[in-house]
A = this chain, B = another copy of it.
């Protein structure tokens, strides 16, 4: 054999080559990251000074920015200046304590530093070997959270199931649906995809229909069970059974049912146990989307909303909504991980390794659509350890207490009314000064009220329509929100309503 001599190497010795550009210079990293910490802390400190809902016009930014990337580097301070002058005015400030729209996305110092650490490692943990800690910590925290929720062992790694962190509910729904679909098609053959039927209610998240279409379910086979205010917009097991039986009678195959704990519109809770009764024996996969409402179930007094969960096939919950975790973090638990893996595994040569081949480890790429994945478990781990179960429960209870306070304001005022009973921390209400007036007029009045309130920039609320009633949604949950914000919001709404009444002759015209 030959031996290596330095002279064999035709290039100059390395020490003579000077690096020309170092994008991860440690000193520069330290300086800039510290500077950014202060920038962000200052932003949080001053967040109440910005209009909650951005007041810019479409296209505002293009006119302010150059048409091309600069050829030469620009100083960090110039960029921060532009964040202040160009970006912040175009932000709708989701972290403002006066943000009561949609569902607020909750955050915390712990999750922030957890996210920094996740970014730091930049581990592309597609399989166990690519970063054992990333895979194993995810398994641990998914079991921790399952315990917090008092899920049965059948959803835990320490039992017969397991969990995985997806981006958002859409991805969680998609992989559960694909697992169910492929189980069905393995039995029926691909050509029978045309027979597969999926079920949700008219309150199920809009992404469900989209995800079903993405998975190739025929649009004509997507059933939407109507709900009514009599059931507080929960899915009716009786109706579901009727629709499923009709489908079976026409030779179709029930594939998937999506139940929701805390719908996006009004936080309705579908009756899991009764829906499981309907699903039983049909072969349909029952999924529970508890994106928002699930987090409340870490408190014993709310756990009953998950009653019957031991009978479903999968459950998703998004800690980025109500467990202080920043976006994006959606936890999915499944009873039969092997069905996910069967539907979603890949095994290219360049990822092969002994560990995976011995089947002794979890390769999370086979539990999701994509290959690469971030080390998101760190955030959840930091949140659970930094605050402890005790504080997480206090946090949930505090939001619900503030929502109750707002509910109290609404109920105590004869000009306003609750439209849907409050379940979690969302209050669905409306302005209804003339009890017998035309419903369309009341809807219009509330639209005007919402506009009036939001254009002040002092708070941001959104609306929904259910049972043909236009209602205002007051969602308490932004992490910085305290009693005084809820109180001030109510005062603003009330005053705006009064102003509106005074000029009501304009509204009708």
User: Do B144 and A69 have beta carbons less than 8 Å apart?
Assistant: yes
How far apart are the CA atoms of A1 and B502 in the complex, in Å? Answer: 9
Residue A160 at the B interface, CB < 8 A? no
**Which residues of B sit under 8 angstroms from A56, Cβ to Cβ?**
132-133
Given A43-B120, A94-B124, the answer on whether A385 and B70 have CB atoms closer than 8 Å is yes
A390 to chain B, nearest CB (A): 5
B54 touches A41 (CB 8 A): no
Does A444 sit at the interface, judged by CB under 8 A? no
A65: chain B residues within 8 A (beta carbon) = 140
Residues of B within 8 Å of A347, CB to CB, are 206
> Which residue of the partner chain B has the closest CB to A7?
B412
Considering the chains assembled together, what is the distance between the CA atoms of A338 and B123 in angstroms?
Answer: 35
Residue A168, interface by CB 8 Å: yes
Report the Cα distance A69→B504, complex, angstroms: 55
Contact (Cβ within 8 A) A105 B92: no
Residue-wise interface mask of A (87-112) relative to B, using a CB-CB cutoff of 8 A (1 in contact, 0 not): 11111111100000010011111101
Provided the pairs A70-B388, A190-B194 are in contact, do residues A119 and B112 lie with their beta carbons within 8 angstroms? yes
Assess whether A441 is interfacial by the CB under 8 Å rule. Answer: no
Given contacts A124-B102, A328-B372, A394-B20, contact A71 B388 (CB under 8 A): yes
A24: contacting residue among B25, B178, B480, CB under 8 A: B480
**Docked CA distance A36–B193 (Å):** 50
Q: In the bound complex, do residue B17 and residue A71 qualify as a contact, i.e. CB atoms below 8 Å apart?
A: no
- Report the separation of the CA atoms of residues A211 and B388 in the bound assembly, to the nearest whole angstrom: 39
Bound Cα distance A105, B371 (Å): 13
List B contacts of A124 (CB < 8 A): 94, 102, 105, 327
Task: Give A417 Cβ to nearest chain B Cβ, in Å.
Answer: 13
Q: Name the B residues within 8 Å of A19 (CB-CB).
A: 398, 482
Chain A interface residue bracket vs B: 35 or more
Q: Give Cα distance in the complex from A371 to B67, angstroms.
A: 29
A211 to B70, CA, bound (A): 36
Cα A214 to Cα B158 in complex, Å, equals 29
Stretch at the interface among A72-80, A228-236, A248-256, A269-277: A72-80
Q: Say whether chain A's binding surface is mostly helix, strand, loop, or mixed.
A: helix
| Nearest CB of B to A241, in Å | 26
Contacting A68 at CB < 8 Å: which of B33, B93, B144?
A: B144
Is there an interface contact between B388 and A33, defined as CB atoms closer than 8 Å?
no
The winner among A123, A169, A408 for most chain B CB atoms within 10 A is A123
Q: Are the C-beta atoms of A58 and B386 separated by less than 8 Å?
A: no
Partner of A33, one of B2, B109, B140, B158: B109
Residue pair B30, A387 in contact (C-beta under 8 Å): no
Expressed in whole angstroms, the minimum distance between the Cβ of A179 and any Cβ of chain B is 11
Q: A108 to B390, Cβ gap below 8 A?
A: no
A435 adjacent to chain B (CB < 8 Å):
no
Please indicate the chain B residues that have their CB under 8 angstroms from the CB of A265 in the complex: 348-350
Say yes or no: A167-B167 contact (C-beta < 8 A), given A24-B480, A108-B24, A327-B372. Answer: yes
| Contact present for B71 and A109 (CB under 8 Å) | no
Q: Given A128-B58, A140-B65, A145-B69, verify A36-B346 contact (CB < 8 Å).
A: no
How far, in Å, is A77 (CB) from chain B's closest CB? 11
Is the CB–CB distance between B14 and A26 below 8 Å?
no
B residues within 8 A CB of A465?
A: 349
Asked if B167 and A2 sit within 8 Å, CB to CB, the answer is no
Of B79, B87, B182, B346, the residue contacting A206 (CB under 8 A) is B346
Closest to A148 in B: B69
Q: Would you call A29 and B9 a contact (CB within 8 A)?
A: no
Do residues A15 and B69 form an inter-chain contact, with CB atoms below 8 A?
no
Q: Is the CB of B67 within 8 A of A158?
A: yes
CB <8 Å contact, A123 and B92: yes
Closest Cβ of chain B to A43, distance in Å, is: 6
Task: Find the residue from A20, A91, A479 having the highest chain B CB count within 10 A.
Answer: A91
Task: Say whether A225 faces chain B, with CB atoms less than 8 Å apart.
Answer: no
Contact A71 B121 (CB under 8 A): no
- Besides A20-B398, A94-B131, A320-B372, 14 new A-B residue pairs in contact (Cβ under 8 A), listed by A number: A1-B433, A8-B412, A19-B398, A30-B41, A32-B109, A39-B117, A59-B136, A70-B385, A90-B134, A116-B119, A171-B369, A171-B370, A174-B369, A207-B370
19 chain-A/chain-B pairs, Cβ below 8 angstroms: A14-B483, A21-B387, A25-B109, A28-B109, A29-B44, A60-B136, A62-B140, A68-B144, A69-B148, A102-B351, A170-B370, A190-B218, A190-B219, A193-B194, A206-B347, A207-B369, A211-B369, A216-B216, A328-B372
